[in-house]
Structure 1
Amino acid sequence: MSPTPAVPRRVRITAEAMDLLRRLRATHGPLLLHQSGGCCDGSAPMCYPAGDFIIGDRDILLGVLDLRLTPGELATTAPTPDDQVPVWISGPQFAAWRHTQLVLDAVPGRGSGFSLEAPEGLRFLSRARVFDPAELAVLDTATPLTGSEWSPESAVVDICTEPQTVMHAVDACPVPTRDRR
């Protein structure tokens, strides 16, 4: 019998973005992120105090970031509610992007006026990595959690062989290069 393949993370985060989340949590308390689908926000990940943004019944939970973890570190115990940052995406947008891993980054610039990082001089930025066929096969066997099924108490430790935090975005989604010969 072959071993069960590990379920890849649907969301990862850079060290810079994780540091920004920790600063925002220190100021605003528990947080959540929602990958915006456009309009006023562009397509930016939006950061809100937990409870200030109403999660829709059809929104999909991409993952729960653990603010305790450093780059390369794996979780061994469940985070406290204050150390959890759930990352959501709308159902229709998830359907379009389910084949990609969201990599959250923080870059210089002014974020949306609705997102908590707006006055920080940094903004959250979404990057993506396309899952390979083996990862997609594993993900297709897992049913994503929707907003109608979620409660903060339902979060469990994400035991995974892939660290959630990377030093730089390129560590999670390498940029292809061209041979210039």
Structure 2
Amino acid sequence: MTTAIQPAQVQATPAALELIDRLAAKHGPVMFHQSGGCCDGSSPMCYPQGEFPLSDHDVLLGKLNGTPFYISAPQFEYWKHTQLTLDVVNGRGGMFSLENGEGVRFHIRSRIFTDEEIATLRASGRI
């Protein structure tokens, strides 16, 4: 019997990983939170670790080279059948996000999991 490999719920492009490393060199360890909130829309926000108050309902989607990526519970319910990919595009970062002023901003790309991947995530209790 072959055990299916659990797909990553969040991953990052090389450009995103490079920007994370650059921000961590400036600010120390960082974290992400995907909220879908009002001010910066649904942009992923990058903060120094420990400076964003997490709730008991926030979901840790995964770690990107050791950097935690959280999503709010309501957003997780909406996106749980989707793999998120953190990327970087030209533009201005979110007002409160650490990449603001870098000339680029973090951006989320997504794809819907296959039926097999969803079954694997359900079996593991992740969704």
Instruction: Determine the C-alpha separation between the residues in 2 that align with 1:55 and 1:64.
Output: 16
Structure that is richer in strand per residue: 2
Unaligned runs of 5+ in 1: 67-83, 145-181
Given the alignment, which residue of 75, 81, 84 partners 1:99? 81
Cα distance between partner residues in 2 of 1:140 and 1:103:
20
Tell me which residue corresponds to 1:26: 25
Structure 2 residue ranges without an equivalent (≥5)? none
Aligned runs of 1:46-125 on 2, under 5 Å? 46-66=45-65, 84-125=66-107
Structure 1 residue ranges (4+ consecutive) displaced by more than 3 angstroms after TM superposition: none
For 2:62, the aligned partner's letter is: G
Deviation at 1:38, TM superposition (A): 2.6
Q: 2:89 & 2:11 partners in 1: Cα distance?
A: 15
Equivalent pairs: percent with the same residue?
52
Give me the whole-angstrom Cα distance separating, in 1, the residues matched to 2:82 and 2:14: 20
Aligned residues: 126
TM-score, normalised by the number of residues in structure 2: 0.96
Q: CA RMSD in A?
A: 0.8
- Report the secondary structure of 1:41's partner residue: coil
Q: Distance in 2 between matches of 1:115 and 1:3?
A: 42
Name which structure has the greater RCO, CA cutoff 8 Å, separation 6+.
1
Alpha-carbon distance in structure 2 between the residues aligned to 1:22 and 1:3: 36
* Rg comparison, structure with higher value: 1
Structure 1 CA distance for aligned equivalents of residues 124 and 36 of structure 2: 23
